[in-house]
Structure 1
Amino acid sequence: MTSSQITGTAQHAAWQARELPPVEEVRPGLWSIPVPIPHNPLRYVSAHAFALDGGGLGLVDCGWEHEEGWTALTDGLTSIGADVADVRGVLVTHLHYDHLGLAGRVRDASGAWIAMHPADGDAVRAFSGRDAVAAVDAQVAFLVGLGADRGTAVSDVGAPDRWERFHRMAVPDRALLDGEVADFPGWSLRAVHTPGHTPGHLCFDEERTGVFLSGDHVLPRISPNISTNPQGPPDPLRDYLGALASVGERPEPTEVLPAHEWRFTGLAARTAELRAHHEARLGELLDAVRTHPGSTPWDLAAHLTWSRPWSEYERGMRVFAVTETDAHLRLLASRGAVVGTAGPVPRFTAA
């Protein structure tokens, strides 16, 4: 199996320099446009613009909704001789704000349709107009159910005004199912359902050029966050690993265009690396359960290896770490490797 190789050299160089990469035409009529994400280690999302037969553009993902992001997107379109009013349709890989956030503003400026997988589209509808106080209460209760004390959970989740923007995201106009071809005239963008990062995550196989838009499902450097949440599926990591295996068995694309970091080749090799990473992580967690029997997911997260010392984790970073730990525990439990106690807060021991 050929190992993955960096092909987005300008993107990679910009990453190392901690700069925004350039707008690039990666195939005739297909451009990557970086849109910055405020105060986030991922730095930017790559929106991809497609020149459509008959005129106009199609977008895959849009970016985080803020003025700097809007300026980057519109300036990027100007640099390729286009305008936001030229956009005819927006495909959204998944519901996260750095991908969906600007879609509503694009639709308002152009009249474009927005399409997502129905699993994520339904989640956006459920979020839309929901009371932020109720959403915060639900998230706090979920973290308490993972072993957090209430005061820490309240502090980490934050005030309702932090959540308001997530309840104003654009509700999609269209649903796109696995195997369907998107309405981008001149292209053959076939949807590939890859649940895990979100229930309705989509990749896109562009069958004419052989490029594969991997969204957040397969990234060249890191594994996407796979977390549990109050309204989410029961075993998201099992979903993710299954989708990784399926993607790894597809014909090798000419190039992978992820939503973050840089373009690369070697999709099968990268999916194998990601699966191995999670198996190693599951092994580390099982060792932690054996060493600290009767621990909650919140407790066990502190005994795992992270990118920085656990004492530096707080607020959103800690929430993601704990809910990711919970996702790994659920998979271990479904495999029969650990057993959780019944009750409002599970405590795990090795089977």
Structure 2
Amino acid sequence: MNRIRLENSEFEGENSVYLLGTDTDAPTTLIDTSVRKPETLDSLESGLADYGCSVGDVDRVLVTHWHTDHAGLAGTVQARSDAAVFVHEDDAALVAQDESAWDAIETRQQRLLDEWGLPEHIQDPVFQHARKIGRLDGPEPTVEPFSAGDRFDCGDVELEAVHLPGHTAGLSGFAFDGDSGRELFCGDALLGNYTPNVGGADVRLENPLAAYLDTLSHVVGESYERAWPGHGGPLDPTGRAREIRDHHRDRAGDVIDVLERHGPTDPWTVGSHLFGDLDGIHLLHGPGESYAHLRHLAEAGYVERVGDEYELVEQPDLDALFEDRMATSP
């Protein structure tokens, strides 16, 4: 397995894409592709050349999720190499640039911007910015959907698809037996320097935080020895999953504090108290994360939605709400 580092200034820093199967008769496999920019494609070609191959030699692309910094070059790679492009069934239509799938997600996004309480004068700019950086463009790949448990022979290792929703509905990793134990290509399910956004990064999930907490439970329950994320270098998956879980437990406490101080409040206002002034894509991600927490607290009966606002009805047992999940795999 070879890691190729590709510069990316738009999202969570440089992308890590992974190359497998170059020393075997198995298909030459690329995990993720980064953004569709000429300079990124040049860097990908250069990185592949370091391992004796080119974009035209790629037989298979495994996409962890639909975001442009992971799937952006999938169509270009396929056009140059005739590679098969595999995406989890929940994200496949978006990577294939299916108009009906994009219309559905953008219709929901527009509705939620109003429901979350974004000021009317910024709703359209936020939506247009999210659309500009979110929609895939370029060659439309022919996509082959996969499901959790599907396997991919990469010669030295066999990858098993693992569904890790939360950041997106179809985010998936690929588990394999490494030198010292089970390892995981985890996409953006775990990141070393950032906490993956839930709520704004994919508005299709009805309770994105619950889905993500289940993903963290899976990671801890499987005791992976090492994880290879979509940004940055390898990390300790169990330790990092617990850190992120603790972060969300603390964030839930902050949300409760806002509701106690200000009474019934919409996600935009909660986000303003939590994050301060926001710009760019964070104008979507900030209230989106606030919504994810409010929705999760409401599902547990601690918060009640009244119109587009949420009010505290019972002091939550945050330890139980977050700790108990860690003992249960999805």
* Shift of residue 66, structure 1, vs aligned partner: 0.5
Name which of structure 1's ranges 168-177 and 113-122 shifts more when overlaid on structure 2: 168-177
**Distance verdict in 2 for CA 1:137–1:192, change over 3 Å:** closer
SS at match of 1:303: helix
Alignment correspondent of 1:214: 186
How many residue pairs match? The answer is 310
Mapping 1:171-182, distance limit 5 Å: 171-182=141-152
TM-score w.r.t. the length of structure 1 is 0.81
Deviation string, structure 1 residues 122-177 (Cα, Å, up to 9, x no partner)? 3445x533598997665333211211222111122236982684365745532221
Q: 1:199: Cα distance to partner?
A: 0.8
**Structure 1 CA distance for aligned equivalents of residues 64 and 6 of structure 2:** 15
Distance 1:321 1:337 in 2: 21
Query: What amino acid maps onto 2:222 in structure 1?
Result: R
| 1:266-311 deviation line (CA, Å, top 9, x unaligned) | 321211111111011011101111111121111111111x3xxx23
What's the counterpart of residue 324 of structure 2?
Answer: none
Measured after TM superposition, the shift of residue 350 of structure 1 is: 0.3
Q: What runs of 5+ residues in structure 1 fail to find an aligned partner?
A: 1-29
- 1:235 paired residue number: 207
- Alpha-carbon distance in structure 2 between the residues aligned to 1:257 and 1:114: 20
Q: Indicate if the aligned counterparts of 2:75 and 2:138 stay in contact, CA closer than 8 A.
A: no
SS state of the match for residue 99, structure 1?
helix
Task: Work out which of the residue numbers 22, 26, 41 in structure 2 matches 1:70.
Answer: 41
CA 129–263 in structure 1, closer or farther in 2 if over 3 Å, else same: same
Q: Aligned-pair RMSD on alpha carbons?
A: 2.5
* Residue 90 of structure 2 corresponds to residue 119 of structure 1: yes
| Percent of aligned pairs with the same amino acid | 26
Q: Decide which moves more: 86-95 or 173-182.
A: 173-182
- Whole-Å Cα distance in 1 between the matches of residues 202 and 246 of structure 2? 27
Establish whether residue 279 from structure 1 lines up as the match of residue 274 from structure 2.
no
1:32 paired with 2:3, answer yes
- Matched AA of 1:85: G
Instruction: Give the one of 63, 82, 102 matched to 2:73.
Output: 102
1:41-79 CA distances to partner (integer Å, 9 max, x unpaired)? Answer: x22110100025216520000110011110110110011
Aligned to 1:191: 161
SS of equivalent to 1:263: coil
Conserved? CA contact 2:105–2:203, under 8 Å: no
Q: Which amino acid aligns with 2:292?
A: A
Structure 2 Cα separation of the partners of residues 172 and 247 of structure 1 = 31
- Residues 81-124 of structure 1: per-residue CA shift (max 9 Å, x gap): 11111111000111111000001100011010011110111344
- Following superposition of structure 1 onto structure 2, how do residues 134-213 of structure 1 map, counting pairs within 5 Å? 139-158=109-128, 162=132, 165-166=135-136, 170-209=140-179, 210-213=182-185
Indicate the SS of the match to 2:91: helix
- Residues 178, 347 of structure 1: CA spacing in aligned structure 2 closer, same or farther, 3 A cutoff? same
Q: Tell whether the 8 Å contact from 2:169 to 2:202 is kept in structure 1 after alignment.
A: no
Q: Paired residue for 2:285?
A: 320
Deviation at 1:322, TM superposition (A): 0.9
TM-score under structure 2 length normalisation: 0.86
| 1:329 to 1:172, Cα distance in 2 relative to 1, 3 A | farther
Which range moves more in the overlay, 283-292 or 55-64? 55-64
